[in-house]
């Protein structure tokens, strides 16, 4: 049986949002807690949350959750730092990591489940929506070292994925997959 670790990137300061996105709530509740549940309910065997900005407050929100928390001390460098921290923390018995972002409140467990179906140690897959590729992104264990080496700045695994065979998983019937970066976008 294939084991998938869900890695939630929730370390950023959310400068355009005016606060860390890990601390944002809307009419459906906390984005952070909803994203953790999305990974668990979507079939991830374990969940790792990568935190950075407002780490103490975010840890407090996660105190009762069945997951692992890792702090990316170099989180201000960008998404690459968070991705490196998450993959570096994933357990040895995981076959793949499914990377999700805290600022995708319309992405639910059905998207996670659909992308995770591709999981194997040598697979690279990502959700694709009407506006193009997005998250979650599935990274098979065989690719972890390469992704860690290429994850710099705010590009995350983008360059690595572009250079390798990534499977596009159409999820446009399930979600829009749009990053919510500013407060006025919350109502969309």
Using alpha carbons only, what angle is made at residue 91 by residues 111 and 169, rounded to the nearest 5 degrees? 20
Strands 4-10 and 25-26: unpaired
Given a contact cutoff of 8 angstroms between Cβ atoms, the answer to whether 105 and 8 are in contact is no
pLDDT at 152: 85
pLDDT at 186: 52
pLDDT at 185: 52
Strands 96-101 and 4-10: parallel
pLDDT in tens, 53-83: 999 999 999 999 999 999 999 998 988 999 9
Fold classified for 4-175: Spore Coat Polysaccharide Biosynthesis Protein SpsA; Chain A (3.90.550)
Phi, psi of 112 (to 5 degrees): -55, -45
Round the average pLDDT of the chain to a whole number and report it. 92
pLDDT at 188: 44
Domain boundaries, the chain: 4-175
Strand, coil or helix: what is 139? strand
Where would I find the H helices in the chain? 31-41, 55-62, 79-89, 109-116, 144-150, 158-163
Q: What DSSP string runs through 63-101?
A: TTSSSEEEE-TTGGG-HHHHHHHHHHHS-TT-SEEEEEE
Q: How far apart are CA 175 and CA 177, in angstroms?
A: 5
- pLDDT tens string, the chain, 188 residues long: the values are 799 999 999 999 888 888 899 999 888 899 999 999 999 999 999 999 999 999 999 999 999 999 999 999 999 898 899 999 999 998 778 999 999 999 999 999 999 999 999 999 999 999 999 999 999 999 999 999 999 999 988 878 888 999 998 999 999 999 999 888 766 555 44
Given a contact cutoff of 8 angstroms between Cβ atoms, the answer to whether 145 and 151 are in contact is no
- To the nearest 10°, report the CA torsion of 132, 137, 109, 168: 50
């Amino acid at each position: 049986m294939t084991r998938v670790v869900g890695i939630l990137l929730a370390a950023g300061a959310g400068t355009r949002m005016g606060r860390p996105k890990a601390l944002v709530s809307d009419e459906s509740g906390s984005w952070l807690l909803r994203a953790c549940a999305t990974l668990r309910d979507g079939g991830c065997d374990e969940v790792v949350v990568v935190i950075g900005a407002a780490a103490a407050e975010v840890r407090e929100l996660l105190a009762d959750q069945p997951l692992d928390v890792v702090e990316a001390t170099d989180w201000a460098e960008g998404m690459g730092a968070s991705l490196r921290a998450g993959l570096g923390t994933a357990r040895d018995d995981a076959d793949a990591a499914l990377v999700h972002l805290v600022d995708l409140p319309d992405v639910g467990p059905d998207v996670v489940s659909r992308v995770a179906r591709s999981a194997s140690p040598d697979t690279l897959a990502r959700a694709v929506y009407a506006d193009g590729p997005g998250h979650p992104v599935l990274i098979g264990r065989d690719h972890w070292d390469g992704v860690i080496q290429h994850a710099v700045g705010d590009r995350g695994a983008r360059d690595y994925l572009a250079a390798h065979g990534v499977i596009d998983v159409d999820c446009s019937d399930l979600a829009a997959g749009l990053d919510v970066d500013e407060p006025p976008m919350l109502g969309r």
